[in-house]
Chain A
Amino acid sequence: MKAACHRSLWIARITFLEAIRQRFFAFLFILGAALVLASGAVRVFDFGHSELKFLADFGFGGLFLFGSILGVVMTAQLFFAEIDNRTALTLLAKPLSRAEFLAGKFLGIWAVLGVFVLVLAALLAAMLGWRAAELAQLAADRRLAPPECDLAGLALYAALQWLRLGVVVAMVLAVAAAARTFLFAVVVGALAVLAGQLQWLSQELLLKPAEPGLGQAALWLLTHLLPNLQQFNLGDALVLAPHQVAAGTLPWVFLSGVAYVVAFLVLATFLFRRREI
């Protein structure tokens, strides 16, 4: 077990080094950071919302959008780079199991996404902290209650986003393990993420009273097989209204995220098991 972990960590280390050298990563990383920093300059266009909510939405949007794109494209790219360049041939001829190889790939990509989430969340925290302090001062001058902004909640939100991206990476790895081409893996992976994002719709439909039939069975299957990626988006509640998060919500979201990561990695290993390299 220790040897298997050691080998997976070496695969993860090289995957991480390969990923951070990619221009695509640098491009989206800079774009995401620029978006968060630019939110301070365009906060006057807050469309009637509170200013802190406007800033937070910018940051949450950047994390969600660019994180998802990075998760899908980078996973497919790094997986197929090993297959197409035939480095997998050299690696899998060693006493390295396919499960260890996939676990290493997952950890390497997830670590890169961790850096992405950490930096964007730190920038967002700086923006929110700076503006919240200014607004609190203004509110104190007017003898009003200061606006709520919980930076510890932001840290929790960042951790949840990282876990959500872990689910995305594991899901795309499962798709890539069965796919023949990079493009197929990206398109199907992106559709799976989109379906996961909209999974709550099928949950709601399932709750409505209806005759049992094929449609209901399909809905049940969709609800139980696809992860509900929307459940990780607790940013508003955690950062701007920290007392609104129901007890038990966070442990449930965390546990279901971990369960989906494990389930998709097991599926990826099963699909990759007999793949010809």
Chain B
Amino acid sequence: MTAAPAIEVRHLTKDFRVGLKGVKLRAVDDLSLSIPRGQVYGLLGPNGCGKSTTLKVVLGLVPATAGEVSILGLPSATAEARARTGFLPEAPYFHKFLSGRELVRYCAHLSGVPSDRVESAVEEAVALVDLREAAGRLVGTYSKGMLQRIGLAQAIVHDPELVILDEPTAGVDPVGAAAIGRIIEAMRARGKTVVLCSHLLGQVEQVCDRVAIMDKGRLVLEGAVEEVLERRDRHVLTVDALTPAALAAAEAALVAHGARLGAVTHPRRSLEELFRELVTGSRDA
């Protein structure tokens, strides 16, 4: 028997009533998704496309107008499902009078961590987000990046199987965003399922196994990152020692077979690849 997906959304619709007349606003429109376990899943889309609403319905914070949602095979609104889920909301706000460690301890108790395990779970979570030194400071003194990281710590302190992160890098500088990216990769290495909502598409491409793109409440694309980025109607040939004569002959051969040469360019490597080649290579040597 195969394990149930981490999240299963079937024909989800969510309407909001706005204004005095109660005009209906459809935030999510007949959305169906199946998020497999053990992967990092990117949920993308422009502001107002229904990503956050979808996550709130998944967590039982907002009731669905129609459709069904399950987490790890359990109805999503149940406490049992939420006990196996960690959540970092967008732009998180925490009680400023608590220290980082106190906040994570508070969340550990609410998440059902056994009392004799709380301290070790707190230290583990704080260490994973690299906040051990600052954990004794009041949350009110934290920078934006530190707030996101302590938010991550409170989300994972009970060692959930599924972690949902809503814009974890919003307002965070590139160094902080990279640190959060490393934490997500560490969670994947531990076998967790991570659902990531983010506008940092470069990071999503780097860390996600699969992505779904939403627009105006509807799902417009879903699939493995490699698959959705690949253009199956086009091909790239990498050729060594291409002379003008060889190029002309190749172009003629392509035309003869009904194909067309679109462009001839030199392949690029990323700055990171170049950096690793130059620096890591010399260090290894």
A-contacting residues, B29-67, CB 8 Å: 56, 59-63
- Whether B61 contacts A7 by the Cβ 8 Å rule is no
B95 within 8 A of A: yes
Q: What residues of A have a CB within 8 angstroms of the CB of B112 in the complex?
A: 3, 7, 95
Compute how far the CA of A77 lies from the CA of B255 in the bound complex, rounded to whole angstroms. Answer: 75
- Whether B93 contacts A7 by the Cβ 8 Å rule is no
- Whether A93 contacts B89 by the Cβ 8 Å rule is yes
As a 0/1 sequence over residues 251 to 277 of chain A, the CB contacts with chain B under 8 angstroms (1 = contact) are 000000000000000000000001011
- Whether B80 contacts A95 by the Cβ 8 Å rule is yes
- Whether A95 contacts B111 by the Cβ 8 Å rule is yes
Q: What residues of A have a CB within 8 angstroms of the CB of B97 in the complex?
A: 17-18, 21
Q: What residues of B have a CB within 8 angstroms of the CB of A17 in the complex?
A: 95, 97-98
Q: What residues of A have a CB within 8 angstroms of the CB of B151 in the complex?
A: 90
Compute how far the CA of A87 lies from the CA of B151 in the bound complex, rounded to whole angstroms. Answer: 11
- Whether B98 contacts A14 by the Cβ 8 Å rule is yes
B-contacting residues, A187-224, CB 8 Å: none
Q: What residues of A have a CB within 8 angstroms of the CB of B110 in the complex?
A: 7, 10-11, 91, 94-96
A97 within 8 A of B: yes
Q: What residues of B have a CB within 8 angstroms of the CB of A21 in the complex?
A: 97
Compute how far the CA of A11 lies from the CA of B106 in the bound complex, rounded to whole angstroms. Answer: 9
Q: What residues of A have a CB within 8 angstroms of the CB of B80 in the complex?
A: 95
A244 within 8 A of B: no
Indicate the member of A10, A89, A90, A91 with the most B CB atoms within 10 Å: A90
- Whether B62 contacts A277 by the Cβ 8 Å rule is yes
Q: What residues of A have a CB within 8 angstroms of the CB of B56 in the complex?
A: 89, 276-277
Indicate the member of B82, B110, B154 with the most A CB atoms within 10 Å: B110
Q: What residues of B have a CB within 8 angstroms of the CB of A86 in the complex?
A: 89, 91-93
Q: Nearest residue in B to A7 (C-beta to C-beta)?
A: B110
State the Cβ distance, B57 to closest chain A Cβ, in Å.
Answer: 10
Compute how far the CA of A216 lies from the CA of B82 in the bound complex, rounded to whole angstroms. Answer: 49
Compute how far the CA of A14 lies from the CA of B96 in the bound complex, rounded to whole angstroms. Answer: 11
Q: What residues of B have a CB within 8 angstroms of the CB of A87 in the complex?
A: 93-95
- Whether B82 contacts A94 by the Cβ 8 Å rule is yes
Q: What residues of B have a CB within 8 angstroms of the CB of A180 in the complex?
A: none
Compute how far the CA of A94 lies from the CA of B83 in the bound complex, rounded to whole angstroms. Answer: 6
As a 0/1 sequence over residues 77 to 104 of chain A, the CB contacts with chain B under 8 angstroms (1 = contact) are 0000000011101111111110000000
Given the interface pairs A3-B112, A14-B98, A18-B97, the reply to whether A94 lies near B107 with Cβ below 8 Å is yes
Compute how far the CA of A11 lies from the CA of B110 in the bound complex, rounded to whole angstroms. Answer: 8
Compute how far the CA of A91 lies from the CA of B107 in the bound complex, rounded to whole angstroms. Answer: 8
Compute how far the CA of A178 lies from the CA of B97 in the bound complex, rounded to whole angstroms. Answer: 28
Given the interface pairs A90-B87, A94-B107, the reply to whether A277 lies near B93 with Cβ below 8 Å is no
- Whether B92 contacts A90 by the Cβ 8 Å rule is yes
As a 0/1 sequence over residues 1 to 18 of chain A, the CB contacts with chain B under 8 angstroms (1 = contact) are 001001100110010011
Compute how far the CA of A271 lies from the CA of B63 in the bound complex, rounded to whole angstroms. Answer: 14
Compute how far the CA of A93 lies from the CA of B89 in the bound complex, rounded to whole angstroms. Answer: 9
A-contacting residues, B72-98, CB 8 Å: 79-80, 82-83, 85, 87, 89, 91-95, 97-98
Q: What residues of B have a CB within 8 angstroms of the CB of A92 in the complex?
A: 60-61
Compute how far the CA of A92 lies from the CA of B87 in the bound complex, rounded to whole angstroms. Answer: 10
Q: What residues of A have a CB within 8 angstroms of the CB of B117 in the complex?
A: none
A-contacting residues, B181-208, CB 8 Å: none
Q: Can you identify 23 A-B contacts, CB atoms within 8 angstroms?
A: A6-B109, A7-B110, A10-B110, A14-B95, A14-B98, A17-B97, A21-B97, A86-B91, A90-B92, A90-B154, A91-B110, A93-B82, A93-B85, A94-B83, A94-B87, A94-B110, A94-B111, A95-B80, A96-B82, A96-B110, A274-B63, A276-B62, A277-B62
Closest 7 pairs (CB-CB, A-B): A93-B87, A95-B79, A95-B83, A277-B61, A95-B82, A94-B110, A89-B89
- Contact residues of B with A, CB < 8 Å? 56, 59-63, 79-80, 82-83, 85, 87, 89, 91-95, 97-98, 106-107, 109-112, 151, 154
- Contact residues of A with B, CB < 8 Å? 3, 6-7, 10-11, 14, 17-18, 21, 85-87, 89-97, 274, 276-277
